[in-house]
Chain A
Amino acid sequence: MAGILVIAEQTGGTLNRASWEAIVAAQSIGGDVKVAIAGREVGAAAAELAAAEVAEVIALQHAALDLYTPDGYVQALAAFIRDAEPGLVVLPHTYQTRDFAPKLAARLERALITDCTAIKAHGDGRAFTRPVFQGKLNADVVADGPTPHLVTIQIGAFRVDALKKSGRRAAVRTVDAAVDASAIRQKPEAPFKEARQAVDLSQAERIVSVGRGIKGPEGLPLVQALADALGAEVAASRPICDAGWLPMERQVGSSGQTVAPKLYLALGISGAIQHLVGMKGSKTIVAINKDPDAPIFEVADYGIVADLFDVVPALTTALKE
């Protein structure tokens, strides 16, 4: 197989959206695309994947793959990839992939390019675009060394509605995964959520979100006053919650809540990819930041290059006028 192998992801038999996005990315390259999915019993998920226009879906099954572990997944996938010899392996850039893909690439002694947002032609091969310096620059990256190269596709970079589907369902093949359960060193417990979240930011119509630009917790009343004048919820980027200035439940981004309000006001937020993933679906985005090169301005409808300590009080006053 010289084509592309997509590694789809399921939890409890349910496919995630990012798996479909990874298939779209693979289809955009062209050629033969196959999809593998690993787990204990993944026949139903494999059948679902067969709706996509792909050459084959492989259900890679083993009792020891019931709960995800990096040791189990790497054993199963390394053996399968060595056997299948694809030219490229495409994975969604999820927390699970981030946990095992570098180990898989190291085991296979192959290149791994993470969080790709675009794929373009480069000479006879291709380059993969990924953000660097917290999203301030994009790098076009070329993989070296023998194939298969591995790439992970950033969430939201490819659109599921661009998925090519086939009238004929793809063939599904079940493979017994090569896993030595005694060599799995991680013993996972069932996933859980912390105490019920009191704030559901996903339902908020307007959000005033604050980042590093706030400098310290003493600036927060200013932000709260603006939120009150707008009838908005207060949210934050990760560093604000890390510092304990606002509770974790108010964090917007890949590790926090995903939001899509009518209005999202980003105050002093630079716009690293992890934050953009959580808020770029907002209808109208306003960015206020001192740094004119901040990536947040790439997604903003309205931008003001200024110190938030100057603009926020003026904004609160203007709203009351």
Chain B
Amino acid sequence: MKIAVCIKQVITRESQIRVNEQKTWIRDQDATFELNEPDAYALEEGLRLKEKHGGEVVVCSAGPARATQVIREALARGADRAIHVEGELGSGDAFSMAGALASAIKDEAFDLVLTGLQSDDHGFGQVGVVLAENLGIPHATIIMEVNADGGSLRVKRELEGGWFQFVTMPLPALLTIQSGINQLRYATLKGIMAAKKKEIRTVPAPAGLAARQRIVDLYPPQKVKKTEMIGGSAADAARQLVRALRDDARVI
């Protein structure tokens, strides 16, 4: 099974986020980055499918030069090789990201393309589905189980409120993977050493990828409630909170 896993480099969850002067994105010069967590689950699922059915796992990422950091990490976890679409697509919209990825993988004839459900930064939740349309292959989203059998897939989709559904479709296909589908593995020292010898093919982002949306203002959300902030030592704060919950809110 020839599997592509699309991964994105995002700012770490613990990062202090600072808005840039134009208020169109964040100041990411001094930020630290990591592999988008839902994509880590997609990678893990790709590796498991390869272990079961053979073939190869190719990681694909569209982004600036620094994205090689997460590509190396994916190679260290067990991906066979990588394609890096290089360009300033980091703040691009889903259509330019999907267009960049499609141009890089369309000639490779993958049996299966996996992406995370959404990214931790933009959170569009669109790239995978648009990519499937660009590649002309069927898709299913929010996947919690993948069963491959010959030329078809039977997958378990998560629906709302605790409901699930099985869907069958022919290969090639694209799936967006829900976090929690499996338990993540981490790179071993051996894997890290082996990754250094693996191929990363760099291709330029295609010309003419026009974004279809742009941010005109970026700001912290307004509070919807008047929050009473409680300070002091842990013991003091705990006593104040218990008193407030008993006497003011009357919920305990």
Contact = CB atoms under 8 A, between A and B. Distances in A.
Interface in A242-281: 242-244, 248-249, 254-258, 262-263, 270
B162 interface: yes
Nearest to A255: B158
Contact of A70 (B124, B139, B159, B166): B139
Interface string A95-138: 11011111101110011111100000010000100011111111
Contacts of A194: 162, 164
A231 B143 CA distance: 36
Contact of B238 (A71, A113, A135, A314): A314
Contacts of B167: 69, 186-189
Given A190-B165, A238-B179, A110 B212 contact: yes
B213 A113 contact: yes
A100 B230 CA distance: 45
Secondary structure call for the B interface = mixed
Contacts of B123: 114-115, 131-134
Interface string B203-247: 000000011111111111111110111110011011101101100
Contact of A305 (B127, B164, B229, B252): B229
A221 interface: no
B138 interface: yes
B95 to A, nearest CB: 7
Contact of B213 (A137, A144, A284, A298): A144
Contacts of B17: 133, 136-137, 293
A35 to B, nearest CB: 21
A189 B166 contact: yes
A186 B94 contact: no
Nearest to B160: A95
A191 interface: yes
B235 A95 contact: no
Contacts of B217: 127, 139-140
Chain B interface size range = 35 or more
Contacts of A98: 125, 141-142
B251 A283 contact: yes
A55 interface: no
B15 to A, nearest CB: 9
B191 interface: no
Scoring B11, B98, B224 by chain A CB atoms within 10 A of each residue's CB, the highest score goes to B224
Nearest to A115: B123
Interface string B126-150: 1111101110001111100000000
A257 B162 contact: yes
B225 A298 contact: yes
A127 B162 contact: no
B221 A137 contact: yes
Interface string A287-310: 100010101011111111110001
A98 B125 CA distance: 7
A311 to B, nearest CB: 5
A175 to B, nearest CB: 24
A142 interface: yes
A257 B162 CA distance: 7
Contacts of A230: 252
B216 A102 contact: no
A295 B160 CA distance: 23
B170 interface: yes
B16 to A, nearest CB: 8
Contact of A256 (B138, B162, B249): B162
Interface string A206-240: 10000010000000000000000010000000110
Interface in B156-211: 157-170, 173, 178-180, 183, 210-211
Contacts of B126: 101-102, 105, 112, 114
B120 interface: yes
Contacts of A69: 167
B230 A132 contact: no
A110 B95 CA distance: 9
Contacts of A81: none
14 contacts: A99-B140, A133-B11, A134-B13, A141-B215, A145-B212, A186-B167, A190-B165, A212-B13, A263-B249, A295-B221, A305-B231, A306-B234, A317-B238, A319-B242
Given A133-B26, A189-B166, 20 more contacts: A98-B142, A103-B129, A105-B130, A106-B98, A106-B130, A132-B122, A134-B120, A137-B218, A138-B221, A143-B213, A144-B211, A187-B168, A191-B159, A191-B163, A192-B164, A239-B179, A262-B251, A298-B221, A303-B229, A318-B242
Interface of B: 11, 13-14, 16-17, 19, 26, 93-95, 98, 120-130, 132-134, 138-142, 157-170, 173, 178-180, 183, 210-225, 227-231, 234-235, 237-239, 241-242, 244-245, 249, 251-252
Interface of A: 69-71, 94-96, 98-103, 105-107, 110-115, 122, 127, 131-145, 185-194, 197, 206, 212, 230, 238-239, 241-244, 248-249, 254-258, 262-263, 270, 283-287, 291, 293, 295, 297-306, 310-311, 313-315, 317-319, 321
